[in-house]
Structure 1
Amino acid sequence: MKNIKYILMPFLSLFLLTACQDDDGEIGDIIAPGNITMSYEIVGADANNPNGDGTGLVKFTSTADNVITFRYDFGDGTDVVVAPSGNVTHQFSLTGLNTYSVTVMASGIGGITTTSSMNIDVFSSFEDQEAKDFLTGGSGNSKIWYWAADKPGNIGLGPNDVQPGGEHTWSQWFTSNAWHSDKLCMYDAEFVFTQSADGKVTFEQLTDIAYTPGDYAASIGVAGDTCHGTDVAPTLDGVKNVSFSPSNSNATVDGEYRGTTINFSDGGFMCWYVGISSIEIIEITENTLFVRMLDASNPALAWYCKYQTDNPND
C-alpha cells in the first residue's frame, strides 16, 4: 500500500500543477469567494432591550459567491464553528453587556478563504456564581478535582432520546462500579479550575489521560475503551477558558437538573473523550460534581460522569 501511495502522489501533484496552469481555466480554477456578507439578529432585541433579552443568543446569516462552506469565530474564546449553509445560532455567555468581534470565513474552490468581521454588542444576564465558586473555591482561588473512582456510578450511559417509558435523564443502560476494572487507567486524572479576581474561570487537565469509549473511538479510528494521550486527543493540553450558559436540553428540564452548562474553549474536556466540550451540571456541591454530556459520534448516547475534590488514590 505504501508503494502505491508514493507512486500516485507525484502523478497527482503533476496533475494539479497542470490543471492550475491551464490557460483556458477549464480545470482546477481557484476562485476566492466574493461579495461576502454577514448579518445577525440578537434574540429578544427590541427598543427597550437593543442588545437582547439576556439569553445571549444571536442568529447569524452569511452569504457569498463561489463559496463551499463558512466558518465562524465568535471572538469569545469558544471553538470555531463550521456552518456550510452560512446560518448558525451562537450563545454568548459572558455576563453583562460585552462587545465581540465576530469573523466569518468563506472557503471556496481550492481552499481560498475570504473573511469579513464585525463588532456586536450582546447582553447576557445568565449567571451561576455559586457553581463558579464551587468549582474554583471562589474569586482568586483554584481547586483540584478528581474522578469519583471510589464511588459507584462514576461513569454511566443512558439514552438521550426519550424512551417509551420516559427514561432519558439517568444512566439507564450502564452504571459503573467503584474502581471499574476497564477504567483503571483514567482514575489518575487531575483537573484544576481557577477563578481570577474579576470572575473569569479557566480549566486545565494536569494529566495527559483521555479515556475513549468504544463508539467514539471507532469514529476516529483508534482503540476503544482505553486511555490515550495527546497523540489521539491533542486538545488535552493547555489552559482553557470556561464559560457558563443555561442548559436547555430535555434532560435538564425533565430531570430537574441544575440548569447550568459548563463550556470549555479549544476542545477542552474532563478526561472522558467523546468529542464534546460542553457538559450539563446535574448536581454540584463544594466537593462533588455530577455531569451529563452527549457523544459526538452518536448523539443518541448520553454519558454521566462523577468527580470529587477528595483524591481517591490517597
Structure 2
Amino acid sequence: MKYYRIIFSLLAIALLFSSCQEDDLGLESMMVPSNILVNTDISTDGSGIVEFTVSADNAISYQFNFGDGTTGSTLDGTFTKRFSKNGLNTYLVNVIAYGTGGISSSRAIEIEVQSDFSDPETKQFLTGGSSKKWYVASYLPGHLGVGPSSGDGFDSPIYYQAAPFEKAGTEASSCFYTDVLTYSTTGEDNLTYELNNNGQTFFNVDYVGQFGGPTGSGDQCIDFDTSGVRNATLSPASSGIATSRGTQIDYSNAGFMSYYIGASSYEILSIDENSMYVRAVMGNNPALAWYVKFTTLSYDLQNAETGGGEETGFESDFDTLLWESDYQNATSLDTNTWNFEIGNNNGWGNDEKQYYTDSNTSIIDGNLLITAKRESESGFDYTSSRITTQDKFEFTYGRIEARAKLPAGAGTWPAIWLLGSNFNEVGWPETGEIDIMEHTGNSQNTIHGALHYPERSGANADTGATVIENASTEFHIYTVEWSAERIWFLVDGEVFHMYENNADSPFNKDFFLILNVAMGGTFGGAIGDDFQESSMEIDYIKVYQ
C-alpha cells in the first residue's frame, strides 16, 4: 500500500507538471517558491465546503493534502473541497507550491469544518449494518458503460455499454469480475472500504502505460496490486443529475471501485439491499463519465444463475406449465379469464390521456391485439384497452413468459405487468408491482423491467433496461422469473435486471396479470401529432411453476 500511494503521488505530479517544464533548465531559472499565502472561505451551513485561494512567489502550480486522505491540484491557486466527515472536525492541510524544475516549498494550516450530511439508508445498504461484500454485476447489460459527463444519469452510457459477461474469458480483462468490495461500519458516521483484486487491477486504456501495461491494446488487467483498506465517506453529490440519489462516496488514498479511471469519488445513481449503480467522472477527461453496476451476487453465483453467458443461457427453475392464454382458435377475448377495466380513472395515477373501452381488443390471425387509437370518447382524445385476470387467475412465484410485438409511435406506452392481489385492501405501492415489460414509442426499442414497492415506486422504482432491435416489427419473448429468493427480468432469454427478494417484501403472495396500452402520461411522454393508431400484439402468455 505504501508503494501504491507513492506511485500515485508521483504520477499525479508528473501528469500535472510535465507540460509546464522545459527540457533544459538552468540553475538560474530554478527558483524556490516563497511567501506562500493560504486563504480559506469555510462554509457555515454544514455542507463541509471550503474554498481555498493560494498564492506564492515563483510558483507555477499547487498541490493540496487535505488531511482526510484526499489530495487535489490546481494551476491558478483556487480549489473547492468538500469535507464530508460528519461533525466538527479539525484538518491539517498541507499546501505544496511547485516552481520550475519541480522545486517546491510548502505550508501547513489547520482548519475546522462542520459537515452535517447524512444518508443512513445508503450506509445500511452498503454495509448491511456491519460488513457486506459487493461484486461487479457481470450478468447485466451495461454493467460497465461510458457516456458524456453532462448526461442525465441512467440514459447517459450512450457511447458504450458492456454486454453480459463481455469481459470474461480474456486474459486482458478477466480480473474485472473477480474483485471483491467490502464495506464495513467503523462508528456512527464512518465507513471503511476494502478492495481485494487478487493482485491484478483492471485499468482504463488511458492509464495502462503508466502502470507498466502494454499500450495500444485497450483496457488491461495488470499485475499491479491496488488491494487494501481505505476510508470511505458519504457526501452530497453535486452533479445535479435528476436520476441521482444525491449521494456520492469519497475514497481516501486514491481508492476506486474495480475499474481504474483516475477517480476517487463515485455518485450513487441507485442502491438497494442487493444492487448498486454508480457513475464517476474520468480523472484525465472530465467530459466523460463511466458507469458501473454492482451486485451482492459473487461472480461464481452469477455464472451459476445465468449460465455465464454460455450457449445454455439462463436456466429456469420452473418447467411445469400452470396456465396459458393463447389465441390460436379464439375469435374473441375469453371473459372467463380476463376482465375489462373501463374509463380513464383520473389518468390512472400517471396523467394518461386514453379512455379504456371493451372494444379496443381483437383477435386476428391467432394474436390478441390491444389497439390505441386517436378518437374521441367520453371527453378524451384517445382510446385503448386494459385487461386483467384479477379474481380469475392469481398466483405466487413462477416463470411468466409473454411473446409480443409492441406498438409504435410517439406517446405509446404498452405494458405487461403484475399487481398484488390485495391491491384493493392495502393500495399501491404497498401491494407491490412487477413490470415484466414496459416500452415507450419516444424511446423506441428500449425495454424496461421494474419493481414498485414502498420507498421504491414511481420515478424511484427499482428498474433495469435493455435495448433490442425491431421491438415493434418482430415478436420477442418477455420473461420474469419470480421466486422467494430472486426476481429476474429477461428479453429473449437474456437477463437485464435482478432483484433479491426477501421475506419483508410484498413479492411473496398472489399477483394477477395486466395488459394495456396507455397513451402519453408521465412515462409515455408527448404524443406525436401524426399518431393515429397502433397495436400491441400478443402471441401467448404462459405461466410455469
Aligned alpha-carbon RMSD (Å): 2.5
Shift of 1:169: 4.1
> Deviation of residue 113 (structure 1)?
2.4
Is the CA contact 2:183–2:193 (under 8 Å) kept in the aligned structure 1?
yes
Q: Which residue is 2:150 aligned to?
A: 161
Partner in structure 1 of residue 90 of structure 2: 99
Matching residue of 1:23: none
Query: Offset of 1:156 from its aligned partner?
Result: 1.9
CA distance in 2, matches of 1:85, 1:274: 24
Query: What is the rounded CA distance, in whole Å, between the counterparts of 2:270 and 2:153 in structure 1?
Result: 18
More strand per residue: 1 or 2? 2
Give the conservation status (yes or no) of the 8 Å contact 1:209–1:271.
no
In structure 2, what is the Cα distance between the partners aligned to 1:184 and 1:35? 51
Find the aligned partners of 1:179 and 1:94 in 2 and give their Cα distance.
37
Which residue is 1:35 aligned to?
A: 35
The answer for the alignment partner of 1:186 in structure 2 is 176
Q: Distance in 2 between matches of 1:37 and 1:99?
A: 20
Query: Aligned residue for 2:68?
Result: 76
Residue 171 in 1 paired to residue 157 in 2? yes
Q: Distance in 1 between matches of 2:160 and 2:101?
A: 46
Residue 212 of structure 1, CA deviation: 2.8
Deviation at residue 153 of structure 1 after TM alignment? 2.1
Distance 1:298 1:168 in 2: 20
Taking structure 2 as the reference length, the TM-score comes to 0.46
Larger Rg: 2
> Which residue does 2:139 correspond to in 1?
150
SS in 1 for 2:123: helix
Residue in 1 that maps onto 2:128? 137
What SS does the corresponding residue of 1:299 show, helix, strand or coil? coil
The equivalent residue for 1:245 is: 235
Q: 2:50 aligns with which of 50, 55, 58?
A: 58
CA 1:287–1:110: 2 relative to 1, 3 Å: same
Change (3 A) 1:59 1:306: same
Number of corresponding residues: 270
Choose which of 274, 280, 287 in structure 1 pairs with 2:261: 274
For structure 1, the residue ranges without an aligned partner over 5 or more in a row are: 1-14, 20-26, 44-51
Pick from 119, 134, 146 the counterpart of residue 128 of structure 1. 119
- Answer yes or no: is the 8 Å Cα contact 1:33–1:113 preserved in 2: yes
* Residues 130 and 285 of structure 1: CA distance in aligned 2, closer, same or farther (over 3 Å): same
User: SS of the counterpart of 1:77?
Assistant: coil
Report the AA paired with residue 151 of structure 1: L
SS at match of 1:298: coil
Residues 148 and 167 of structure 1, relative CA distance in 2, 3 Å threshold: closer
Question: Offset at 1:76?
Answer: 1.4
Calculate percent identity across the aligned residue pairs: 37
Residues 34 and 58 in structure 2, CA contact (< 8 A), matched pair in contact too: yes
Measured in 2, the distance between the counterparts of 1:194 and 1:157 equals 29
Structure 1 contact 192–205 (Cα < 8 Å) conserved = yes
Residue 237 of structure 2 aligns with an amino acid whose one-letter code is: S
Given the superposition, is the C-alpha separation of residues 30 and 173 from structure 1 closer, same or farther in structure 2, using an over 3 Å criterion? closer
> Is the alpha carbon distance of 1:185 and 1:33 closer, same or farther for their aligned partners in structure 2, counting shifts above 3 Å?
closer
Partner of 2:500: none
Change (3 A) 1:211 1:116: same
Name which structure has the greater RCO, CA cutoff 8 Å, separation 6+.
Answer: 1
Q: Kindly indicate whether the alpha-carbon contact (under 8 Å) linking 1:161 and 1:168 is maintained by their aligned counterparts in 2.
A: no
- Residue 199 of structure 1 and its aligned partner are, at CA, apart by 3.3
2:405 aligns to what? none
Structure 1 residues 82 and 181, CA gap change in structure 2 (3 angstroms): closer
Provide the residue aligned with 2:270 in structure 1.
283
Q: CA deviation at 1:167?
A: 8.6
Task: Structure 2: give runs of 5+ residues left out of the alignment.
Answer: 1-23, 302-545
